[in-house]
Amino acid sequence: MSIIGNKAGIGGLQVASPATVMTNGTTTAPAGQGYETVTVNIEPFSFVVQGSGSFKTSGSVHVDFGETSADYSGTNQVVNFSYNDTKQHRIVVTGGLTGASFRSCTGLVSVDVPFPKTMQEGRNFGYCFDGCTSLTSIPSGLFDNCTAVTDFRYCFDGCTSLASIPSGLFDNCTEVTDYRYCFCNCESLTTIPGGLFDNCTKITNIDGCFWNCKSITAIPNGLFDNCTAVTDFSHCCRGCTSITAIPNGLFDNCTAVTNFSYCFSGCKSLTSIPSGLFDNCTAVTDFGSCFSNCISLTAIPNGLFDNCTEVTSFAQCFSYCTSLTSIPSGLFDSCTAVTGFSSCFRNCISLTSIPSGLFDNCTAVKDFSICFDSCTLITSIPSGLFDNCTEVTSFAQCFNGCTSLTSIPSDLFDSCTKVTNFSICFKNCDALTSIPSGLFDNCAAVTSSNSCFASCDSLATIPGGLFDNCPSVTRFDSCFNQCAALTSIPDGLFDNNTAVGNFKQCFASCVLLTTIPSGLFDGNTAATNFNSCFSYCTSLTMIPNGLLDSCVSVTDFGQCFMGCRSLTGLAPELWDTTIWSDVTVFTQCFNGCTRLTNYADIPSGWK
């Protein structure tokens, strides 16, 4: 409505005389007569509050609080309210309201009517109701007059009491491109209305839109049918713990999508994935954590990723899917661009096997770290699993915690000549009884093998020459730590590993180890750390003469032989500063080694 009038207060606005009211848009007043055209909101915008809080307005408005009122003019004017009772109160805003925000207004209970036509040019409703934890309802058509809006990011984020979304809420919002985190953390929402985004054909980003909407039980069919421009569905339904199924064809028309990372992560009630879910999503590059923590998911459909030829990351894709029992053969056959499988099947504790050839076409992969970590029911690794993965650099923690794994194929890493990291690779493989000879023969680039076989409780032997072709290794700390069944160390195990600096806890708590081969560390002149190297090797009977004579750069001998209560003979005089002048840590090096012949001669700080 346009008003031309004398100085009367209409919605807090002052207009000049003479008084004329025009009801059909803006009018032109006669020149030179002091007329002024002002657009005001005659129909009030009202909402219900309780307690205290604040909101912001833009434009020239009159705010009626009930017993008091005030005028506000400008952009993002802060309006405070406070009621000294527990009742609900209605606040009415009239005038030329061009913008409003209730971010963090915890006293807002409900909105009565749609935003006025004076807000039709408003483009940004980002964070509009963010953090309104007491907001229980919004009206149908709330945004019907806001036809220019482009941004709804975080609009209702944290509205934990909001119980429903009105049908057609966004029907007139045809210019919107961004719905990031729009309903994130709306924990009381139980449903998503069908067709919610039907008219929003320009959306490009729905990242986190329904994240942590714990009470939503279903995704309506065709929800994204008209969202053909969306590129990002990351986190979209993350943490929707009550969703049990994904409708068929949900993404059939979403051909521009590149990102599904965390899309269904934490959907703990989800039991299945429809076949062909991603068939038309040929541009996707990221499935990282897409189904992670879907603890009720029992199977992956055949060919799920058959058309996803551009994917580069499956990191954590199915991690913590604790009910998943199998992986379909050929699952990644079309995914030739993948570079990362880190944590892909981590903690899939019901998974019993790995299909042969699973990674045969994944020739660009660089990272398999944590890939099958804690898959406690896997008993074997198929031969040639990584034969075509010639670019891999990391197998760190790859099979850690595979407590039922009994053997390793001898050729497992034969083609993996670029690997630099085997740290924690087979740690906690409790059923593993042996390591195949030549396992690392082609892995000359390896720099880290720390904790590689730590806590392999059943491992009885180490093959001779295991590390002969790994001259670049710098870390063997905890490599065989707590291998409780290990009885011996092969001669010359570290002869070619001249770059190693760290042997900390390397054989700690190997309780059946009885001897250390002479010259074990003769080639390790760069070593600086032997802290706890043989600590609690309770069956160890003697320390060979000259064991550490070549390791003159050591700085840390702390607890090196602590708890080796069966040691007899002479302790090496590691406290001799004329040889080991750089040692700064030596506390408890021989603690508990009371049967040593020269125990009384060991300086007190060393025992």
Inform me whether the pLDDT recorded for 40 exceeds 50. Answer: no
pTM: 0.91
Please state the separation of Cα 285 from the chain's center in Å: 16
In single-letter form, the type of residue at position 93 comes to V
As a whole number of angstroms, the longest Cα–Cα distance in the chain is: 116
| Cα–Cα dist 389/385, whole Å | 9
Percent of the chain with pLDDT over 90: 92
The pLDDT tens digits for 144-176 are 999 999 999 999 999 999 999 999 999 999 999
Inform me whether the pLDDT recorded for 185 exceeds 50. Answer: yes
| Cα–Cα dist 317/496, whole Å | 39
Asked if residue 162 belongs to a domain, the reply is: no
Asked if residue 420 belongs to a domain, the reply is: no
Tally Cβ neighbours within 10 Å of residue 87. Answer: 8
Asked if residue 375 belongs to a domain, the reply is: no
Asked if residue 477 belongs to a domain, the reply is: no
Task: State the average pLDDT over residues 443-472.
Answer: 98
Inform me whether the pLDDT recorded for 377 exceeds 60. Answer: yes
Inform me whether the pLDDT recorded for 534 exceeds 60. Answer: yes
Pull the structure tokens for residue 29. Answer: 């007043």
| Cα–Cα dist 75/114, whole Å | 20
Does residue 60 contact residue 13 with C-beta atoms inside 8 Å? yes
Angle at 498 between CA 497 and CA 499, to 5 degrees: 95
Inform me whether the pLDDT recorded for 36 exceeds 60. Answer: no
Inform me whether the pLDDT recorded for 8 exceeds 60. Answer: no
Residue pointed to by tokens 């030549």:
438
* pLDDT value at residue 121: 87
Asked if residue 536 belongs to a domain, the reply is: yes
* pLDDT value at residue 122: 80
Task: State the average pLDDT over residues 400-404.
Answer: 98
Asked if residue 325 belongs to a domain, the reply is: no
Residues near 585 by Cβ (< 8 Å), separated by ≥ 6? 531, 555, 556, 557, 558
Query: Which strands form 2-4's sheet, in the order they lie side by side?
Result: 20-22, 2-4, 38-39
| Cα–Cα dist 2/39, whole Å | 5
* pLDDT value at residue 42: 59
Asked if residue 559 belongs to a domain, the reply is: yes
Angle at 48 between CA 46 and CA 49, to 5 degrees: 130
Into how many domains does the chain fold? 2
Pull the structure tokens for residue 35. Answer: 């007329």
* pLDDT value at residue 38: 45
In single-letter form, the type of residue at position 497 comes to N
Asked if residue 339 belongs to a domain, the reply is: no
Phi/psi of residue 396, nearest 5 degrees: -55, 125
Inform me whether the pLDDT recorded for 437 exceeds 80. Answer: yes
Strand bridging mode 38-39 / 2-4: antiparallel
In single-letter form, the type of residue at position 25 comes to G
* pLDDT value at residue 319: 98
The pLDDT tens digits for 315-342 are 999 999 999 999 999 999 999 999 999 9
| Cα–Cα dist 400/423, whole Å | 10
pLDDT band at 123 (very low <50, low <70, confident <90, very high): confident
pLDDT band at 480 (very low <50, low <70, confident <90, very high): very high
The pLDDT tens digits for 73-91 are 999 999 999 999 999 999 9
Mean pLDDT across the chain: 93
Does residue 453 contact residue 486 with C-beta atoms inside 8 Å? no
| Cα–Cα dist 518/515, whole Å | 9
Task: State the average pLDDT over residues 280-293.
Answer: 98
Inform me whether the pLDDT recorded for 561 exceeds 70. Answer: yes
The pLDDT tens digits for 191-245 are 999 999 999 999 999 999 999 999 999 999 999 999 999 999 999 999 999 999 9
Residue pointed to by tokens 């942590």:
212
Task: State the average pLDDT over residues 531-542.
Answer: 98
Please state the separation of Cα 131 from the chain's center in Å: 23
* pLDDT value at residue 200: 96
The pLDDT tens digits for 503-524 are 999 999 999 999 999 999 999 9
Percent of the chain with pLDDT over 70: 93
* pLDDT value at residue 6: 30
Residue 603's domain comprises 501-607
Using the 8-state DSSP alphabet, how is residue 43 labeled?
A: S
pLDDT band at 545 (very low <50, low <70, confident <90, very high): very high
